[in-house]
Structure 1
């Protein structure tokens, strides 16, 4: 019973992913709502009575949150080391709630909206590091990988639910169109705080501060096994040994994560997390309502809803894919698969979507939507979840928090770049932008292929082995 309760509560921690997904899924639709545009758009056409954004304004509205997330990811490490991951999650959730309140009460000034988005982004950046790390340290060993993967599953669920809410409110009265989708996000933060209150602190953190007995009790309860059980004792001694090694060397300094013994791991994790947004998913999730305006679908909100539904459903088998196929080959196959989809999408959009008279070819539009969905099928099962799992697996305990924060900061830097520059690039080259993402997907597959080999990752000359503790403690589990 205790194990089941722990699993349920750990899923509540995945609300951190939902909160990130909710912002991603809502902002693309919100920027197309009439009342929101009348307040924050900086261009108005009196002849057609329509509002629009300059590329800079739209890029900032959709992308500025990622700049805050960059700093939140870096701040997450010292806070978690000082007060533990459980308290850190509560702190970041409170920061998130404050940011949402400021967003939903924002007045006519778009500057207030930007400040609120940055503030909210700081919390999402911190949670993106701490929440998966906490899950991996508290979850029963036999279900650790599956539990951590729920973080990505909840990102997709948050995106999908946000699209459903946009669909239902975009014709609402005045500011209710966009204040409701933003305000509902308060619920997700409250749910996560409620869940974490019923969860214990990470056993690893407790052992690191000398509370071994409490850590053993938590490990025993989470696994529904007595303290004396061989599995509990073995896991305890592994964690204890890791913590002793960490304490013997003292807290890791930021400069140490670039030392000869660890820098390969550090930069490989950074590369994986940086390449994830460069695979192009946010192009659809943030700008889907605009991307598909000319494809024949009457409501661009419906097109975004279709993509988000496919994303959520196809994330469900992701734990199985990563559990049985490892990490390396799904990333390689996913990169090539996604590249092919983008090349076809770009070619059809550039050459066949619009006729010479300016009308759109609905058949070409249907092909573009189909291959967009096929892209999402691959992304949802490979690059979306695997990047987070890899960062959680790839670092020794002494360097884990700082290396994870450094790697995840790369994710947010490139999220901001993609989100901010997409309006500029799309206005300049339109659907040819898909060729850029096709190329970055090929690059991603090449990086994984050549930087990892034989199913294992080699970091600085040593073979880093992750143990699958659900079977035997000496059974090597492929990190990639």
Structure 2
């Protein structure tokens, strides 16, 4: 870092605030490294609260597709929207595919739009706009009485939800102190688990109703979150990183003050933000989508895409279909719904538990160990389904269901939350929103692919694979493990400034943890 006066001509503005960057920037970095998790919690509790507020959109992102997956197993929904099958009703595989594809299709477009939209008007205003739009989308879902109308509602909602899923990690990554960056960004997965849990619990409570309220009540629950968001919006601070990029330094300093304790050196924190932005500009990191694939950003973008796509390839799609999976595995409908609720509740608990591990275990270690365990469990599920006389041995169905719950526990302890941590940490700040958008759009495309394939794999009137899908996801998980072992660096304990240097200097994966950074032009390996 250089001893220089920050003049905001670099930010295309006439406003000037003289700040000596060298000493203050180093002091802010040293302070970040010296904070323990408990000290970070005490000094930055407001940042945690506002990160949670902006993550409310993630609950809606998780609730909507999870709701569709559970309603497919609801008798009244099957009767009103499905076809006669044997002694009951069933939603045909093409319509299951269409309904479950609505949200991810919308999210592909919505995520790309959000990357530019939030950089243009700010994270706070983008969050408010999405909140108002989702209220209207829920109206379509609530009053839908045919599959085509419901599909339109799902696609339109997906467009908005695709924006939410970019805004939340971008905001969390920019307000979290280094000591709490792992747990705060991992909490995005907690919001996913919360949304899924609420969806499962809601449908479990209404699935025995014999009127349209069996599915109308669950749809109406989605209006709860916009109300909460509207109440808190006037008090929410904008991201100080975004304000700094706009040259609005006084507002950025004010936002930092609202996100931390009065004992924190706000001016030093602001200088660190300015210096990081300056360094990235000197590294020729700009803020277009094309820049995500230029130079060393390409490596960072590939990592972001991979960790999010692996969530789909490892079998997370089963979470949306958990109740239906338990049904086709052979459990009674009531028990399948109970297992579905317990399934998501277990994931919720595991995500909270991951906060502890993230504070003491490296991202790379936890990610690789978790992915290896997930691969093993998927192959075990597939092997159990090959047992002879399966249909007359209900104990096997229970064993598969328990293994599936164990799988989700491991997922929610490892690659589920850590995927979002890595997504938020690995990209350069100037292209973070767009890198997140690209990664989540690719993840949505992978989900679309799985949405096309999965109903045909598991439906009783199609391939009826039951637990043999474990071989499919186990194979994909094994390939993913090979990539993560050879390509995923350790990011724990590094400021964004330091990560920029590590990637700019093309440091090898094995050298990430032991590389000492004393200055941007002085990078050396620790002895």
Aligned residue in 1 for 2:156: 119
Q: Which moved more, 1:280-289 or 1:453-462?
A: 453-462
Corresponding residue to 1:323 among 347, 352, 359 = 359
| Residue 4 (structure 1) shift | 4.1
- Which blocks of at least 5 consecutive residues in structure 1 are unaligned? none
- Give distance in 1, aligned partners of 2:223 and 2:327: 30
| Residue 233 (structure 1) shift | 3.0
Contact preservation (8 Å) 1:17, 1:154: yes
- CA gap 1:446/1:201 in 2 versus in 1, 3 angstroms: same
Q: Deviations over 1:269-295 (max 9, x none)?
A: 111111111110222432432433443
* Alignment partner of 1:385 is 2:417: yes
- Give distance in 1, aligned partners of 2:279 and 2:208: 59
| Residue 243 (structure 1) shift | 3.4
Aligned residue in 1 for 2:506: 462
Q: Which moved more, 1:97-106 or 1:252-261?
A: 252-261
- Which blocks of at least 5 consecutive residues in structure 2 are unaligned? 1-41, 493-498
Contact preservation (8 Å) 1:9, 1:195: no
* Alignment partner of 1:92 is 2:130: yes
* Alignment partner of 1:442 is 2:478: yes
* Alignment partner of 1:68 is 2:106: yes
- Kindly report which structure 2 residues correspond to 1:62-461, keeping only aligned pairs within 5 A, or say none: 62-108=100-146, 110-225=147-262, 231-244=265-278, 251-299=286-334, 300-352=336-388, 354-355=389-390, 359-426=391-458, 427-428=462-463, 430=465, 431-452=467-488, 459=503
- Give distance in 2, aligned partners of 1:202 and 1:439: 41
| Residue 448 (structure 1) shift | 0.8
- Give distance in 2, aligned partners of 1:265 and 1:338: 25
Which TM-score applies when normalising by structure 1? 0.88
- Give distance in 1, aligned partners of 2:368 and 2:325: 30
Q: Deviations over 1:249-281 (max 9, x none)?
A: 695332222223321111121111111111102
Contact preservation (8 Å) 2:346, 2:409: yes
Contact preservation (8 Å) 2:70, 2:320: no
- Give distance in 2, aligned partners of 1:63 and 1:317: 32
Cα root mean square deviation, aligned: 2.8
- Give distance in 2, aligned partners of 1:29 and 1:428: 20
- Give distance in 1, aligned partners of 2:145 and 2:490: 56
- Give distance in 2, aligned partners of 1:168 and 1:473: 58
Contact preservation (8 Å) 2:368, 2:484: yes
- CA gap 1:466/1:102 in 2 versus in 1, 3 angstroms: farther
Aligned residue in 2 for 1:29: 70
Q: Deviations over 1:315-353 (max 9, x none)?
A: 11112222221211111111110111111111112325x
Q: Deviations over 1:369-389 (max 9, x none)?
A: 221111111100111111111
- Give distance in 2, aligned partners of 1:329 and 1:68: 34
- Give distance in 1, aligned partners of 2:293 and 2:43: 41
Q: Which moved more, 1:403-412 or 1:422-431?
A: 422-431
Contact preservation (8 Å) 2:422, 2:491: no
- CA gap 1:274/1:461 in 2 versus in 1, 3 angstroms: farther
- CA gap 1:90/1:311 in 2 versus in 1, 3 angstroms: same
- Give distance in 2, aligned partners of 1:395 and 1:84: 19
- Give distance in 1, aligned partners of 2:226 and 2:286: 31
| Residue 303 (structure 1) shift | 2.0
Contact preservation (8 Å) 2:326, 2:401: no
Contact preservation (8 Å) 1:278, 1:441: yes
- CA gap 1:360/1:67 in 2 versus in 1, 3 angstroms: farther
- Give distance in 2, aligned partners of 1:242 and 1:5: 23
Contact preservation (8 Å) 1:152, 1:385: yes
Corresponding residue to 1:10 among 51, 58, 70 = 51
